[in-house]
Chain A
Amino acid sequence: MWQWLVRLYHRLGSPKWFYELTGKWIIWLALLSGVGMLVGVVMGLLFAPADYQQGDSFRIIYIHVPAAIIAQSGYMIMAVSGAIFLIWRMKMAAWVARAVAPLGASFCLIALFTGAIWGKPTWGTWWVWDARLTSMLILLFLYFGVMALQRAIESEDASHKAGAILSLVGLVNIPIIKYSVDWWNTLHQPATLKLTERPPMHPDMLIPLLIMIVATYLLFALLVILRTRNEILWHERKRSWIQELPEVAARIKGGQR
């Protein structure tokens, strides 16, 4: 098992191997996440019952919660990739970190935005400076900081290192976001979905939410893979294996670069 993991790790470090492997995944990820989202949205908006307290306005949960989960998972992926780059100097890891950053920031923005829309009819306000909302806003700023650093320095290597270090520093914010609602008095309610307990949510409402979470994860994986492939194409553009790719060769032949 360990041997297998080490081999997988070494292979993942090869841009060519990654490019060829993920090329076959794109269509499946797109199909599965598309179908999943369609099913999740239709079930969530049309078939799930209205909430006893919040009526129909709770339905924004089907975007809000998946986006917030992905924003945090994305940050962790970015930080771990940064650590791998710092320790093993694997350039693929740096490219993945760079691919993840703007995507994570987008999902974080979606979570904050849908949260504000949800807050107005239920709490009576768009925004409040409680621990959960503030730590989520800090997450967005951390993403912006990492994105800036990843491109700030002339030397690409130094730029990646700076971005990786900031993303590792900001990792401390992730448990703060998760436990903010338990540690402090907040306006935001405690977590509904917990690994250890049965969620206090009716199954007719819960199943579409779980479908949406899985579908959003698949979408995120698809987008990260597409962006990483772009990084590979750009950085390896002078290598022969890129120029021999059918899609690239056709363009070179046609005079397009």
Chain B
Amino acid sequence: MHPQRKKRLQLILFMVVAIGAAVGLLMYSLSENVNLFQTPTQIANGEVPVGRTIRAGGLVVVGSLKRDDTGLAVTFQVTDGAATVPIHYEGILPDLFREGQGIVALGKLDESGTLQASEVLAKHDEKYMPPEVKHALDQAHEDGKAAMQNPASSN
């Protein structure tokens, strides 16, 4: 290769690598701030200040959803498997909100440790399938569980 071109190639490669490293370090140091939401574990560990607006994200605990009889208020718990955070919200929930589903709630922690949410967003996963397949999968899962519990009756 022509020496001048080689020099330019090296310069460009160096530039791209240097910028990559700089931005990489920047992102690494910012990583906590780039996260959209805090996990229940982080909240339980006291990493989140009381009274400041934060986002909390996790899975809605199955069986934890309680609706107010008169208004739109709901309370539910959100978990990441290790810790749970209670959330209180007044408003219309997104269509995809349901127990077991991932959600992100924007709000402030009160003294009792409940997140008083002003906005609840639903997450959805990267899996796509028709309802019948989902139903069949769930059914197979249930059957499998039943077979594990009483192996004698399954034969």
Question: Bound complex: CA of A53 vs CA of B5, how far in Å?
Answer: 55
Please, how many angstroms separate the alpha-carbon atoms of A143 and B123 in the complex?
A: 29
**CA of A58 to CA of B57, assembled, Å:** 22
B133 near A87 with CB under 8 A, answer no
Pair A200/B31 contact, Cβ less than 8 Å? no
Of A51, A183, A184, the residue contacting B128 (CB under 8 A) is A51
Q: Is A114 an interface residue (CB 8 A)?
A: no
Q: Summarize B's interface: helix, strand, loop or mixed.
A: mixed
Whether the Cβ atoms of A172 and B125 lie closer than 8 Å is: no
Residue of A nearest to B133 (CB): A202
A54 CB to closest chain B CB (Å) equals 6
How would residues 125 to 136 of chain A score, 1 for a CB under 8 Å from any chain B CB and 0 otherwise?
A: 100111100000
Q: Are B94 and A122 in contact (CB under 8 A)?
A: yes
Check B95 against A122 for contact (C-beta < 8 Å): yes
CB distance from B92 to the nearest CB of A (A): 8
Q: Are B124's CB and A53's CB within 8 A?
A: yes
Contacting A at CB under 8 A, from B35-89, are: 35-39, 57
Give the interface size bracket for A toward B. 35 or more
Of the candidates B38, B39, B133, the one having the most CB atoms from chain A within 10 angstroms of its own CB is: B133
Within the assembled complex, what's the spacing in Å between the Cα atoms of A183 and B31? 8
Is A49 a contact of B130 with CB atoms below 8 Å?
Answer: yes
Taking the closest CB of chain A, its distance from the CB of B78, in whole angstroms, is 13
Q: With A and B bound together, what is the CA distance between A192 and B129 in angstroms?
A: 12
Q: Are B20 and A54 in contact (CB under 8 A)?
A: no
Residues of chain B lying within 8 A (CB to CB) of residue A125: 119, 121
Q: Which residues of A contact B15 (CB under 8 A)?
A: 168-169
Residues in chain B within 8 A of chain A (CB atoms): 5, 8-9, 12, 15-16, 19-20, 23-24, 27, 31, 34-39, 57, 93-97, 104, 119-135
Chain A interface (Cβ within 8 Å of chain B)? 49-54, 58, 61, 83, 86-88, 121-125, 128-131, 168-169, 171-172, 176, 183-187, 189-192, 200-202, 204-206
